Amino acid sequence: MKDLIELEPTHVGDSVFDGAPEVHVIRRSLYIPFHENRESCGLYYIHKEAVEDSVPKRFMNSIIDISNNNPSKTYSDIYWGGYLDPHYGHFCIETLSNLWGYKKGQKILFHTLFGIDQLLSLPWVSYYFQFFGIERDNILEVSGTSSIKNLTFSKPSFKINEYIYDCFPEFLQKTKYEKRNTFCLKKKIIYVSRRGLKSGTYSITNESLLEDNLQKKGVTVLRVGDIKLEDQTSMFDNNIIISFSGSFLHNSIFVKNSKGICYCVDEIHSPEFSRKTFHMLDYSSKALFKYFIVDVNKSDAEAGFGSSFLIKNIKDLVEHMLVTAETMRSI
């Protein structure tokens, strides 16, 4: 396809580590719940130094001054769950990466701006909590500055653009295979469409035309909103998944040796922009993914989306998808 650019994988071998990161018990710690201005909140040692890696860097406190925060309540024997992100993609790779050391029945504390019941109303949060054995009664909600005795702190097994431990994909894949696989399609080329989403980073205004052309060529077309959560991971098993870049592709980490093709509308919405993140996930799961930037025109943003794009030559793109997918089948 004219003007289609393939993105070469970023070297990530030195950022993928064997086994699991350390787990230790912080005998005495101080926790201040998340609040709107994000200042002076989070997890601290008792001497009031922030606990490193307790939350993603983008949520690190802008002001570290908690000298006047005195605990109003004391808790004990808690597992630190890290930041609970309501965004599906970040939830999969950041929230879940903290749970590899969680033992069923432990009390768990999440750092979040939202109420737990509000978060559990999100289908993926309630599904994966059940998936990993986290029950509502296990989740601790803290309303004020609190002292915690014996907090189990597991270093995240994955950090965006920085590192990944083998235990993260192994933990997800092992748990997935203990669940019943309800997705029946095998050895298919499946295009996952963004069409039908009500909001997001971007939309593709002529994606319906792309769907029609792919279906005429025998490609199975599914829309993200119509795929059951339990199938969003299972469908990567023995199929070649094609999609534009987005949170959906993070599901591939649940399946070892998955194969897929990711198309990007520009560098901002590509693995090149997020540097090593996608490539670390692929490398650690022994996945085979190819990444391409497609020739598009930017159009007026549709309601609910940050930007919108128009694919210039759909027939050429369809041909590229088919040829690339057939090539990957033989690898």
Phi, then psi, of 5 in degrees rounded to 5: -110, 125
Domain range spanning residue 28?
22-156
The pTM (predicted TM-score) of the whole model is 0.88
Residue 257 located in a structural domain:
yes
Judge whether 173 lies within some domain.
Answer: no
- Tens of pLDDT along the chain (331 residues) come to 556 888 887 788 899 999 999 999 999 999 988 775 556 788 989 877 889 888 877 666 544 555 566 777 999 999 999 999 898 888 998 899 999 889 989 999 999 988 999 999 999 999 889 888 899 999 999 888 899 999 999 999 999 889 999 999 998 888 777 776 778 889 999 999 999 888 888 999 999 999 999 999 999 999 998 998 889 999 999 999 999 998 899 999 999 999 999 999 877 666 655 668 888 999 999 999 999 999 999 999 999 999 999 999 999 999 999 999 999 988 8
Residues 192 and 103 in one domain: no
Q: Give the pLDDT score at 269.
A: 65
Residues 9 and 67 in one domain: no
Residues 86 and 185 in one domain: no
Say how far apart CA 94 and CA 125 lie, in whole Å: 13
Residue 175 lies in a domain: no
Q: Same domain for 142 and 196?
A: no
Query: In the listed set 156, 171, 205, which residue is the last one of a domain according to the structure?
Result: 156
169 assigned to some structural domain: no
The residue among 123, 156, 189 that closes a domain is 156
Q: E strands along 10-89, which residues?
A: 16-17, 23-32, 42-45, 73-83
E-only strand ranges, 162-293? 163-165, 189-193, 200-204, 220-223, 240-244, 259-264, 288-293
At residue 320, the pLDDT reads 96
Based on the domain organization, do 139 and 190 belong to the same domain? Answer: no
Q: Are residues 29 and 114 located together in one domain of the fold?
A: yes
pLDDT at 13: 87
pLDDT score recorded for residue 246: 87
Residue 170 lies in a domain: no
Q: Which residues, in sequence order, are CB contacts of 73 under 8 Å at separation 6+?
A: 142, 144, 146, 147
Number of domains in the chain: 2
CA pair distance 158, 16, nearest whole angstrom: 9
Q: Do residues 196 and 307 share a domain?
A: yes
- pLDDT score, position 331: 83
Residue 214 is part of a domain; what is its CATH number?
3.40.50
* Domain membership flag for residue 243: yes
